[in-house]
Structure 1
């Protein structure tokens, strides 16, 4: 496939947005007078956090590719245009639904600890966790999984109409010829934190600040020639061009030069894994989400199981009663997460028990529906004997044949560890901070971990990423996911509740204010938009309520009963775009 010029992509975007305004009258999805309107299309839809990447995906669909082909192209494009989260130097998770075979699978391309990793490598001489080691040094860099993960998806589930090189070509063009810096990217690179973070590394500083003698202005053309050359290598040589040879050598040199322990053998030996999704039901809908080493799917289904027997439809969207019940259910799930979740190749995760309706009923029966239960009184459940950054990014794709992809991937922190492998343009992750550096010590997102998520050689750290597909009567109904660190699970939860329980169209479901409770710290975090009267009622119930920044950046596609596609890019992140044709 020849990469199409930007004016062609712009025409696609305008056409899609016009169609959204003209066709948004399908009463199967939309209420009579919705406040927010999704983008509407008939043949294919992509929703991502960066507009150019979305348009690359739509162009692939128009050119005969399927949802997986488009997802691969979007994944590589985001590595160019959304450098703080899009990546080839990180990893993630993908849920794929193949309409022809009616198969839904999970692809785990999570980063992996190097063979030389040790349980105490993030501790200081006093035996205390040292966050500088896990977050800002080479020790925090996991073996990247993105390139082999996307390659596996293309090989097994792509249409066959477009080659691997075809799908990387748009990213090469963007990196080589340049792209206009968005307001969002300009703001990100100009922030004090990012300048200090990237400024520690001469290579990162050279790439992002030296060409413009400081942060680039919005609208300036940014080129990534080193990254373009790397992408061309991968396009021509396949994933081996990343995991072996000069690119791999550059990655290892950078990681170890910053105090890490990675080897060429670690890179050459990395393999993604195909896993069975975690599945469950909610109000007659079927849920398929990510299994361990993500905690997302298990606890999404666990919380839905608890809530299904509670009167949240009657109490209404974001009422004090509904928020109270949601927060109580969230607390029990996050308490269980702290004890049981980890890499299933290294620890036994009692997934069937955690997602069972019977266990949910036990929690629900002991749940106080009127008053907040202090976090100190909530403990992880007792499993039966014999028995796991906010700067992540998500994209969703549905094609005209009913194939669907829900993909969440990340560098962990914004711009990862802040290091670029010299001469490659590849930003490296700091994903190993998601391990439990020490039992009971919270990570950067306040999440508590235990032995199940301790550091071990070749182990994958626990994640909260929750790419999810919801089915109605066996057909795709909703494809969604989000960034947000520890808040990913609850963000995805609320998209499902808002559409299924509260009957909102996907645009309104996306825009609704969100809440989050993760057991510790003992507070309900809420976005602006929740009524002060509601906050007062929650406080009278015994909750500590904290109004904080917006949560998540969901990229969602809803499918009407007649097959019409409705897309919604989260307005919380500038530059997001849902588009289709």
Structure 2
């Protein structure tokens, strides 16, 4: 007699459970405002177009990168490499995609040494084929699209193809970059494309690129395979080998993009995630932020001067370890867990004084002379964009061809990278041991690209950010993450604030900004100061605790941030 009521209640509970599941699913699928922040208005528009068509953050990223290849050829493109962090909302997780270039299989340890055995001058190594690595961006994007794409692959390239065929207006930044004091017109077809009649093109000119339109059409129709095998790959190899490089068809066909585990730490009540090696950016940003948090906890009240001083000291310590220990962990042993452990970081943070700079810091696990090459004199390349889609998925992607216009070699309408110059030129460290960032066949050079995604306590993206800027990227990003998540500043305000940088040497202050006013105070604390331009390219998305979305675009470049409703 009791079986029927029990069955009834079981059915009732099942019914309400089903309603709850359906209601939750509908809530999860309810479109939220999206956001695209990228380094060029046309690239931003391409990302917005994908999101408005129902595309995912990954779809938008592919469209953005294709357009950047056309309109920002000095900075990034399909001829280079990239790192991409992806936040998947269902289930909540952060993934790291590695599209870093690899060294050709025929490369030798003395690749960047002169006949006398000394390291080449950096600017001598850049142009031509000797510094071209296997491009990784397209394979990486295809790998991410296979798992997270919502729109057809071919649809994602249409904005770039359309612009390449119809033309785009040359911006002042592109025109100015063609006038920098470097031999940019040494190779065809770059010289004819950017320097018609021997003079660099001017801002406002409408520029078409039918060769790139053809390349992107092939890729749209056949996938990344069209780039890594067949006529495009053959043209890349012929161009590189014809200009002194080692790249082969086998190197191109064998390239693999990789999904890796991101590096994450709990800092300032957020889970902050970055790229693992071969990006030094993720580990070093996390070290800097952890050291800053620990050092700040020992100071009762801080002024802006003190906060910047502590950040700079944390950066000294982070770069000391970066320069000594980091390389491609697929080739060398790197003590990642130790360098990010609480005990080690607490020991390092104890070296930071709020009243006196520690000067040049030593690495924490040993005390040899720093073995890394000095910072590059010029680096205006690299690009970053951030995307949040309507379903709450996010992308933080930094891509690069290394120096302005990369190797200066142009194939199929796009520029080839010179990323092999990110290897240590001298294969030996100061103490005679093999340097962890020495060049080896198939190896990925150490990078400073630092895409970041920070999650709140509900595992929702709170901050999506990154920047170009060579080794300064690490400082640009760490400063803004600290300002937003630790100091409570609004994203755009943090981006526009003057940059302060220390790469374990002099302290650099951005000229004509409030950062310059810190000079006297920092000098009194023992900092050696240089004041000058610091051209970041920070682009980010901020999601406030109440769900309000803000975008941030760096006024030092020409990017935009656009909300998608």
Query: TM-score, structure 2 length as denominator?
Result: 0.88
Q: 1:511 aligns with which of 478, 486, 496?
A: 496
Aligned to 2:443: 459
Q: 1:345 aligns with which of 323, 330, 333?
A: 330
Aligned to 2:524: 540
Shift of 1:576: 4.0
Alpha-carbon distance in structure 1 between the residues aligned to 2:189 and 2:239: 10
Aligned to 2:158: 169
Alpha-carbon distance in structure 1 between the residues aligned to 2:162 and 2:300: 52
Instruction: Give SS of 1:458's match.
Output: coil
Shift of 1:336: 0.7
Aligned to 2:195: 209
Does 2:105 correspond to 1:120?
A: no
Alpha-carbon distance in structure 2 between the residues aligned to 1:290 and 1:572: 25
Q: 1:98 aligns with which of 75, 88, 94?
A: 88
Does 2:122 correspond to 1:137?
A: no
Deviations 1:363-408 (A, max 9, x none): 1112233212221x5234249xxxx934110000001211000000
Shift of 1:57: 0.3
Shift of 1:193: 2.6
Q: 2:318 aligns with which of 333, 338, 346?
A: 333
Does 2:358 correspond to 1:373?
A: yes
Q: 2:173 aligns with which of 184, 187, 197?
A: 184
The question of whether the paired residues in 1 share the 8 Å contact of 2:92 and 2:460 is answered with no
Instruction: Give SS of 1:310's match.
Output: helix
The question of whether the paired residues in 2 share the 8 Å contact of 1:55 and 1:579 is answered with no
Alpha-carbon distance in structure 2 between the residues aligned to 1:452 and 1:116: 19
Aligned to 2:278: 293
Shift of 1:532: 5.8
Does 2:415 correspond to 1:427?
A: yes
Residues 2-401 of structure 1: pairs in structure 2 closer than 5 A: 43-130=33-120, 131-132=122-123, 134-159=125-150, 162-189=151-178, 191-193=179-181, 196-197=183-184, 199-210=185-196, 214-311=199-296, 316=302, 319-375=304-360, 378-382=362-366, 389-401=379-391
The question of whether the paired residues in 1 share the 8 Å contact of 2:351 and 2:358 is answered with no
Shift of 1:328: 1.2
The question of whether the paired residues in 1 share the 8 Å contact of 2:509 and 2:515 is answered with no
Alpha-carbon distance in structure 1 between the residues aligned to 2:355 and 2:289: 19
Aligned to 1:550: 534
Instruction: Give SS of 1:516's match.
Output: strand
Q: In structure 1, list runs of 5 or more residues that go unmatched.
A: 1-40, 443-448
Shift of 1:534: 2.6
Q: 1:405 aligns with which of 395, 398, 413?
A: 395
Larger Rg: 2
Instruction: Give SS of 2:49's match.
Output: helix
Alpha-carbon distance in structure 2 between the residues aligned to 1:530 and 1:507: 15
Q: 1:437 aligns with which of 417, 422, 425?
A: 425
Q: In structure 2, list runs of 5 or more residues that go unmatched.
A: 1-30, 373-378
Aligned to 1:22: none
Aligned to 2:9: none
The question of whether the paired residues in 1 share the 8 Å contact of 2:312 and 2:507 is answered with no
Shift of 1:306: 0.8
Shift of 1:338: 1.5
Instruction: Give SS of 1:95's match.
Output: strand
Alpha-carbon distance in structure 2 between the residues aligned to 1:45 and 1:250: 37
Shift of 1:523: 3.5
Query: TM-score, structure 1 length as denominator?
Result: 0.86
Alpha-carbon distance in structure 2 between the residues aligned to 1:314 and 1:117: 54
CA RMSD after TM alignment: 2.1
The question of whether the paired residues in 1 share the 8 Å contact of 2:88 and 2:394 is answered with yes
- Call closer, same or farther: CA 1:465–1:85 in 2, change over 3 Å: same
- Call closer, same or farther: CA 1:374–1:310 in 2, change over 3 Å: closer
Alpha-carbon distance in structure 2 between the residues aligned to 1:533 and 1:87: 37
Instruction: Give SS of 2:388's match.
Output: strand
The question of whether the paired residues in 2 share the 8 Å contact of 1:50 and 1:577 is answered with no
- Call closer, same or farther: CA 1:132–1:574 in 2, change over 3 Å: closer
Instruction: Give SS of 2:392's match.
Output: coil
